[in-house]
A = this chain, B = another copy of it.
Amino acid sequence: MMSESILQKDHPRILIPELCKLFFTNGWVTGTGGGISIKYNNQIFIAPSGVQKERMEPDDIFVQDMNGADIEVPPYEKNLSKSQCTPIFMCSYIERNAGAVIHIHSPELVKLCLLNPENELRISGLEMIKGIYNEEKGRFYDNDEEVIIPIIENSKYERDLVDTFQLALMKYPSTSAVVVRNHGMYVWGSDWKSAKTQCECYEYVFNIMVFKKINNL
List A residues at the B interface (Cβ < 8 Å).
27, 30-33, 52, 105, 107, 110-111, 114-115, 125-128, 131, 142-144, 154, 156, 180, 182-184, 193, 196-198, 200-201, 203-204, 207-208, 211-212, 214-215, 217
Contact = CB atoms under 8 A, between A and B. Distances in A.
A125 B203 contact: no
A208 B111 contact: yes
Nearest to A9: B55
A74 to B, nearest CB: 16
Count of this chain's copies in the oligomeric assembly: 4
Contact of A208 (B110, B126, B196): B110
Contacts of A30: 197, 200-201, 203-204
A212 B114 contact: yes
A31, A125, A198 pick with most chain B CB within 10 angstroms: A31
Contact of A32 (B125, B184, B197, B212): B197
A33 to B, nearest CB: 6
A61 B211 CA distance: 36
Contacts of A215: 114-115, 214
Top 6 nearest A-B pairs (CB, nearest first) are A127-B183, A31-B200, A31-B201, A30-B200, A31-B131, A31-B197
A27 B182 CA distance: 24
Contact of A217 (B27, B115, B156, B208): B115
